Amino acid sequence: MKIGLALSGGGARGMAHLGVIKALEEFGLRFYELSGTSAGAIAGAFYCYGYKPDEILGLLSQMGFLNSVRPAWAWTGLLSMDGFREMMHRCMPDNDFKALKIPLTVAATEIRHGKIVYFNEGDLISSVIASSSIPALFNPVNHNDNYYVDGGIMDNLPVRPLVGKCDIIIGSHCNPVQQRFDLGSVKDITERSLLIAINVNTTISKTHCTYVIEPNELGKYSTFDLSKGKEIFNIGYTYTKNNFKALDFQINEILKH
């Protein structure tokens, strides 16, 4: 049985993916292939390289993402992810998709041509950084003579690379849109608007999933709640353990229904 796992973007909320993966592993699941966007690409890269969910949480928490970004001094973005790139190189010295223990596809948006691009070979780290570069906040990434920004703009839950390859596709979505929202700062309204826009493409992706894991409690966290990584991790883990069981993911049982 081939199980595929798609990991959405979501900033700090992406820590929930690690909790979800830990719970699924405890159910006995082993993944045939992963795909990821932005925060999901980061989680997917570390996991497919061979790190366990708790190890990844520790690495990202110790590093302090905000401490790894630097002023870009450019009109195309306020910040650079060069510091985060250096951290990834230290953790993943074999910087190539071929070095991964589990195949991974990373989604990024080519900003000049306005199209989604899926990376699954060559420079792993540049692909992940490209997928994670939020427009205006971070500089676009020049990769293979093209310019890329956050993959979530066009495919925030990249199920497409898994369709036709996997018997079961599990979508881990960490960007629920809360129905209640009180108007706050410009930052809050901008983030809310982007979240709503991104969920349009996510809705279509969900229809291709056998299961979607989407803890509603994540809606109370913002993209930049990085100090709450452990809390967010636990939400993903607890939600998955409480709402699913190992039998749910057995292909023979699915076919019976």
Q: What global pTM score does this model have?
A: 0.87
Q: What is the reported pLDDT for 133? A: 84
Beta strand residue intervals within 55-144, DSSP E: 70-74, 77-80, 104-110, 115-119, 136-138, 141-143
Q: What is the reported pLDDT for 253? A: 45
Helix H or strand E segment including 59: helix 53-63
Task: Count the alpha carbons within 13 Å of 119 in the hemisphere toward its beta carbon.
Answer: 30
Q: What is the reported pLDDT for 139? A: 75
Helix H or strand E segment including 229: helix 229-243
Question: Which residues does 235 contact at the CB level (< 8 Å), separation at least 6?
Answer: 16, 19, 215, 217, 218
Q: What is the reported pLDDT for 94? A: 97
Is there a contact between 225 and 5 (Cβ–Cβ < 8 Å)? no
> Distance between alpha carbon 129 and the CA centroid of its chain, in Å?
12
Helix H or strand E segment including 25: helix 15-26
Amino acid code (one letter) for 224: F
Q: What is the reported pLDDT for 222? A: 77
Residue from 45, 42, 46, 47 nearest 24 by CA: 47
Please give the structure tokens belonging to residue 22: 């830990």
Please give the structure tokens belonging to residue 163: 């369709």
Work out the angle at residue 86's Cα, subtended by the Cα atoms of residues 44 and 56, and round it to the nearest 5 degrees.
Answer: 35
Q: Averaged in consecutive runs of 10 residues, what is the pLDDT profile of the chain (257 residues)?
A: 94 94 97 96 97 95 54 43 84 97 97 93 95 78 86 92 96 76 53 62 89 92 83 98 91 46
Q: What is the reported pLDDT for 77? A: 40
Helix H or strand E segment including 168: strand 168-172
- The rounded distance, in Å, linking the Cα atoms of 2 and 20 is 18
